Amino acid sequence: MAEDNSRNHKFREHQQAAIKSISNEIDTLGQMVIQGDILPEIESALGRLQGIISRAKASTLVGVEQKTVFHDRIAAHFSELLVSNYKRLQHLRISKLSRINLVTGINNSGKTTLLEAIYLLCRQNDFFGLLEVIRRRGKMAEDRINPEWFIEQIPPETDISGQFDNFESTVQIKHYKEENSRIDKSFYLESVEISSRYATTSLKSLTRIFKGRERETQADRIKILCPSVFSSPFFLNEPHRYAQFYYKSVRSKSLSKIVKFIRENVVETIEDIRLADEMQRFLVTDSVFKETLDLTGYGEGLQRIFFISLLFASAQNGIILIDEFENAIHTELIAQFAGFIDELSKLFNTQVFLTSHSKECIDAFVKNMPQINELSACALVENQDRIVAREFTGFEFRRLVEAGNVDLRRAK
Per-residue pLDDT, 4: 43
Per-residue pLDDT, 279: 66
Per-residue pLDDT of the chain (412 residues; tens, 9 = 90+): 454 455 445 556 767 778 888 888 888 888 777 777 777 677 667 766 765 665 454 444 444 445 789 888 898 999 999 999 999 999 999 999 999 999 998 888 899 999 999 999 999 999 999 999 998 888 887 767 889 999 999 999 999 999 999 999 999 999 999 988 788 888 899 999 999 999 999 999 999 999 888 889 999 999 999 999 999 877 655 666 788 899 899 999 999 999 999 999 999 999 999 988 666 789 999 999 999 999 989 988 999 999 999 999 999 999 999 999 988 888 889 999 999 999 999 999 999 999 998 888 888 888 888 899 999 999 999 988 899 999 999 999 888 888 776 667 666 6
* Tally of CB atoms within 10 A around 245: 21
In three-state form (DSSP H/G/I as H, E/B as E, the rest C), the secondary structure along the chain is: CHHHHHHHHHHHHHHHHHHHHHHHHHHHHHCCCCCHHHHHHHHHHHHHHHHHHHHHHCCCEECCEEEEECCCCCCCCEEEEEEEEECCEEEEEECCCCCEEEEECCCCCCHHHHHHHHHHHHHCCCHHHHHHHHHHHCCCCHHHCCHHHHHHHCCCEEEEEEEECCEEEEEEEEEECCCCCCCCCCCEEEEEEEEEEECCEEEEEEEEEECCCCCEEEECEEEECCCEEEECHHHHHCHHHHHHHHHHHHHCCCHHHHHHHHHHHCCCCEEEEEECCCCCCEEEEECCCCCCEEHHHCCHHHHHHHHHHHHHHHCCCCEEEECCCCCCCCHHHHHHHHHHHHHHHHHCCCEEEEEECCHHHHHHHHHHCCCHHHEEEEEEEECCCCEEEEEEEHHHHHHHHHHCCCCHHHCC
Per-residue pLDDT, 208: 94
Instruction: For the chain, give every domain's residue range.
Output: 228-408
Per-residue pLDDT, 1: 47
Residues with Cβ within 8 Å of residue 30, at least 6 apart in sequence: none
Per-residue pLDDT, 163: 98
**Buried b / exposed e across 88-116, counting CB within 10 Å, b at 16+?**
bbeebebebbbbbbbbbbeeebbbbbbbb
Per-residue pLDDT, 362: 86
Architecture of the domain made up of 228-408:
3-Layer(aba) Sandwich (3.40)
- The structure's pTM equals 0.83
Per-residue pLDDT, 58: 46
Check if the beta carbon of residue 131 is closer than 8 Å to that of residue 214. no
